[in-house]
């Protein structure tokens, strides 16, 4: 707003993350023109909506334009008549929905920016969209008229645990951090989902209210989420459902073995789009080639929905409260807490004192010689030739290492050392738990610890 040139700002991020709220809260009534695309609508309807938005801003338009070139010409005429001392702010929300087939929307928009708006020195163009893949390929990485035109970009991420705690406090929620983590594992740091919580209810009661009651607020969110982001939403739903079947994730080859996805570029595009939108986390085995990339379902809401909520609507308003000690729930808790830790790697590295040390993070698993599988949740390889082998455990109390688990840990460490040929490097066992490791006969194997409290530290720039 204070620069002496026109600005083209791109705001993007996952649906429900609060992009529109952020933009409207900051600019308040400073918009000279604002319009929101219509989901799954025709070009004619989008143009009619555009004209209605012009009318709302005081423009005199008599008819619906025949195409987008005429529509942006009308916008130019309107902005020319606006008198203001500062910048003229334009906000186009849900822009991907406006780009209907063969409408030449992007071509007309690019012409509007390049031929007029960019030269005015007092325009702030803000474009926003939840279809992160579209925003990235069509705007940020455009190879045509909009190549390198964005002057600023803001990728709005979900709240961290620290930010979630602050937000819940603003809602008068007085939950413990353990309860906040349980909630986070079900819905993540998505403001829209968090806003549905009732301060008068416990975390378990709130999850029942959101997912399992007859009028569960999030019961239709799954289909809406993917079908409003992607033109072939059903295919994306099928893909994340396949990914949810394996905790460590699947390679492209393993996904294709499912039989539902052809061996062509469409699968790669879908995986790239899900990764760009934050629903999938691509990562490599420790020491393996890039072609063996694993794709792990990383969206908390989707993971929870597919494990528990799908098909259970109305089958018991107290479903979650009554399954506190269910084995399936314990297994999910371990997986979801692992995702929380991977989303808070900076906090983990800070606790270990290696935030400033160059390092790489990955996961690792192998088949041991005695036919017992060995898997390490998180491997942090540091440039000082130290490797932190991190075990992630979610528990209601301090975690106890008994004789059997001690042997399992030693097996993992030695198997990793042999399989990765790490004899010249120092291996440190790090336990990442909720409340720490209880001191006992076998706890000395642990060389460093990270607890739930460490994950709530605000990240520094």
CA distances from 413 to 76, 256, 390, 428 (A): 66, 32, 10, 9
* 123 contacts: CB under 8 Å, gap ≥ 6: 6, 7, 79, 87, 88, 90, 117
Please tell me whether residue 265 adopts helix, strand or coil conformation.
helix
- Comparing 74-88, 242-256, 288-302, which segment has the lowest mean pLDDT? 288-302
Contact 193, 290 (CB under 8 A): no
Quickly count: other Cβ atoms within 10 Å of residue 262's Cβ.
9
CA distances from 26 to 1, 8, 153, 422 (A): 11, 16, 16, 52
Quickly count: other Cβ atoms within 10 Å of residue 144's Cβ.
9
Residue 246 structure tokens: 């394996």
Q: What does the pLDDT read at residue 289? A: 55
Residue 273 structure tokens: 């789009």
The answer on pLDDT for 263 being more than 80 is no
The answer on pLDDT for 438 being more than 50 is yes
Nearest to 30 by CA among 94, 85, 98: 85
Q: What does the pLDDT read at residue 66? A: 97
Q: What does the pLDDT read at residue 386? A: 94
Q: What does the pLDDT read at residue 149? A: 97
Nearest to 278 by CA among 14, 7, 62, 458: 14
The angle, 0 to 180 degrees and rounded to 10, between the axes of the packed helices 265-276 and 233-243 is 80
Percent of the chain with pLDDT over 70: 96
Q: What does the pLDDT read at residue 372? A: 57
What is the pLDDT confidence band of residue 16, given thresholds at 50, 70 and 90?
very high
User: Which domains are present in the chain?
Assistant: 7-155 (3.40.50.300), 161-219+313-338 (no CATH), 222-306 (1.10.10.10), 344-456 (3.40.1350.10)
The answer on pLDDT for 370 being more than 90 is no
Contact 433, 455 (CB under 8 A): no
- Comparing 61-65, 183-187, 258-262, which segment has the lowest mean pLDDT? 258-262
- 97-129: pLDDT as tens digits: 999 999 999 999 999 999 999 999 999 999 999
Q: Please report where in the chains the tokens 């606790």 appear, as a residue.
A: 351
* 232 contacts: CB under 8 Å, gap ≥ 6: none
Q: What does the pLDDT read at residue 371? A: 44
- 129-138: pLDDT as tens digits: 999 889 999 9
Average pLDDT, the chain: 92
* 165 contacts: CB under 8 Å, gap ≥ 6: 177, 180, 456
Q: What does the pLDDT read at residue 373? A: 62
Give dist(CA 208, CA 177) in Å, integer: 19
Q: Is 38 exposed, middle or buried (0-12, 13-18, 19+ CB in 10 A)?
A: middle
| 188 φψ region: left (φ > 0), alpha (ψ -120 to 50), beta (else) | left
The DSSP H or E segment spanning 448 is strand 448-450
Which is higher by pLDDT, 327 or 341? 341
Give dist(CA 202, CA 26) in Å, integer: 33
Residue 289 structure tokens: 């080639």
Q: How many CA atoms lie within 13 A of 444 on its CB side?
A: 1
Give the residue-averaged pLDDT of 41-58.
96
Which is higher by pLDDT, 316 or 63? 63
Give the residue-averaged pLDDT of 217-243.
91
Give dist(CA 53, CA 48) in Å, integer: 9
């Amino acid at each position: 707003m204070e620069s002496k040139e026109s600005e083209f700002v791109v705001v993007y991020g996952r649906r429900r993350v609060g992009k529109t709220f952020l933009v409207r809260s900051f600019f308040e009534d400073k918009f000279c023109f604002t319009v929101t695309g219509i989901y799954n609508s025709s070009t004619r309807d989008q143009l009619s909506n555009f004209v209605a938005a012009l009318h709302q801003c005081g423009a005199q338009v008599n008819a619906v334009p025949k195409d987008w070139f005429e529509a942006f010409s009308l916008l130019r005429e309107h902005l020319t008549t606006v008198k203001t001392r500062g910048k003229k702010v334009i906000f186009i929300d849900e822009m991907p929905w406006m780009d209907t087939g063969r409408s030449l929307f992007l071509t007309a928009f690019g012409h509007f920016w390049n031929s007029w708006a960019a030269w005015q020195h007092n325009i702030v163009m803000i474009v926003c969209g939840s279809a992160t893949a579209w925003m990235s390929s069509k705007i940020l990485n455009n190879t045509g008229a909009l190549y390198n035109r964005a002057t600023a970009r803001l990728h709005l991420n979900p709240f961290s645990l620290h930010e979630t705690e602050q937000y819940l406090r603003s809602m008068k929620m007085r939950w413990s951090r353990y309860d906040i983590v349980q909630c986070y594992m079900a819905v993540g740091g998505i403001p829209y989902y968090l806003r549905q919580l009732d301060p008068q209810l416990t975390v378990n009661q709130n999850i029942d209210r959101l997912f399992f009651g007859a009028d569960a607020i999030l019961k239709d969110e799954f289909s809406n989420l993917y079908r409003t982001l992607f033109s072939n939403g059903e295919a994306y739903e099928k893909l994340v459902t396949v990914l949810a079947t394996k905790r460590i994730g699947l390679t492209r080859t393993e996904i294709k073995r499912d039989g539902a996805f052809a061996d062509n570029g469409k699968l790669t595009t879908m995986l790239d789009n899900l990764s760009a939108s934050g629903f999938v986390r691509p990562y490599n085995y420790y020491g393996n080639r890039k072609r063996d990339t694993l794709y792990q379902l990383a969206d908390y809401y989707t993971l929870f929905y597919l494990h528990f909520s799908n098909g259970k609507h109305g089958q018991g308003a107290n479903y979650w409260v009554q399954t506190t000690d269910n084995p399936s729930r314990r297994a999910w808790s371990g997986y979801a807490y692992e995702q929380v830790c991977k989303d808070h790697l900076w906090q983990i590295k800070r606790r270990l004192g290696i935030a400033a040390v160059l390092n790489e993070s990955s996961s690792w698993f192998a088949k041991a010689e005695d036919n017992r599988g060995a898997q390490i949740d998180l491997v942090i390889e540091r440039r000082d030739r130290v490797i932190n082998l991190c075990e992630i455990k979610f528990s209601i109390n301090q975690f106890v290492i008994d004789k059997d688990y001690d042997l399992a840990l030693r097996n993992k460490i030695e198997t990793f050392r042999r399989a990765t040929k790490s004899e010249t490097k120092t291996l440190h066992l790090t336990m990442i738990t909720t409340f720490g490791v209880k001191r006992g006969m076998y706890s000395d194997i642990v060389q460093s610890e990270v607890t739930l409290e460490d994950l709530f530290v605000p990240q520094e720039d």
